[in-house]
Chain A
Amino acid sequence: MSLHFLILLAGLFCAAMAVRARPLTAALWLATLSALIALMLYRLGAHEVAVIELSVGAGLITVLLAFAISMAEDETMPASIVPRPFAWLLVAVAGGALLWLLLPSLPAARQLAADAPFIVQVWENRLFDLVLQMVALIAGVMGVLSLLGETRATGTTANEPTPRMEGEQ
């Protein structure tokens, strides 16, 4: 229990530092937060999702963030438009409402029927979700490819004159 509580506190500290730090440092704090969340998921019994979170959350997303930061080359931290006291007020209201709604209902949560195995849940009971995930993955890949293609086209027009078509005057 105490280790669980410590992991939770460390995760909250990493999240707060990720919000405060500059982008590259924030990406590293986010990777640490992902690793801690994966550890907590493993301790809760969600072994498969813990492994996926560790590889995707702490690995892939961090690499992508570092890549985007190095491409953007912009580490400036402009001041917030929303006044910080107002932001704190909004966050306190939202967090307080969630705590007020969720916490009292948890002790009354009853055990449901026997849980199906993970493979059955993913490939049979939630097959529609899986199909939608595949569609979303393909759409995401197509979106990134179109953005990169646009980058190449932009680079060509920026550096070289557009080649004229045959027969064009």
Chain B
Amino acid sequence: MTPIQITIAGAILLVAVGLYGLLVSRHLIKVVIALQIMVKGAMLAIIVAGAAVGQMNLAQSIALTVIVVDTIAAVLALALIVQIKRRTGTLDAAELTQLRH
């Protein structure tokens, strides 16, 4: 395997680890952390793809967009989590069933 292929495989494994965390976590903050891990894998894959085709600056500009959007999503999610904790007293995703009604 070439170094590019190894790095892409590592990025895919990072996405897989994040997906596993997303599936098994019920704690809302752990869900945000799992999402962060998935985004880091995707960002690494974008940069490696840029290196593979010789378009590193284009890949960097796309990765910059990913970082900005990911940060905004994390900040909003954490603000919502704090509100959820204050209103419901729990961070267990399984107990947040009010949206069903």
Contacts and interface: CB of A to CB of B under 8 A. Distances in A.
Interface of A: 1, 4-5, 8, 11-12, 15-16, 18-19, 23, 26-27, 30, 33-34, 37, 40-41, 44-46, 48-49, 52-53, 56-57, 60-61, 64-65, 67-69, 71-74, 76-82, 84, 87-88, 90-92, 94-95, 98-99, 102-103, 106-107, 109-112, 115-118, 120-122, 125-126, 129, 133, 136-137, 139-140, 143-144, 147-148, 150-151, 154
Nearest to A14: B37
Nearest to B1: A103
Contacts of A79: 26
Interface residues of B, number: 75
A46 B23 CA distance: 31
B24 A122 contact: no
A53 B60 CA distance: 11
Query: Could you say which of B40, B49, B62 has the most chain A C-beta atoms within 10 Å of its C-beta?
Result: B40
Interface string B1-33: 011111111101111111111011111011011
A24 B23 CA distance: 19
Grouping DSSP codes into helix (H, G, I), strand (E, B) and loop, the B interface class, with mixed when no group exceeds half, is helix
A1 B75 CA distance: 36
A121 B58 CA distance: 6
Contacts of A81: 26, 94
A106 B17 CA distance: 22
A103 to B, nearest CB: 6
Contacts of B9: 99, 103
A116 B58 contact: yes
B33 A18 contact: yes
A122 B55 CA distance: 13
B95 to A, nearest CB: 8
B62 to A, nearest CB: 8
Contacts of A37: 40, 43-44
Given A8-B7, A129-B65, A133-B65, A19 B81 contact: no
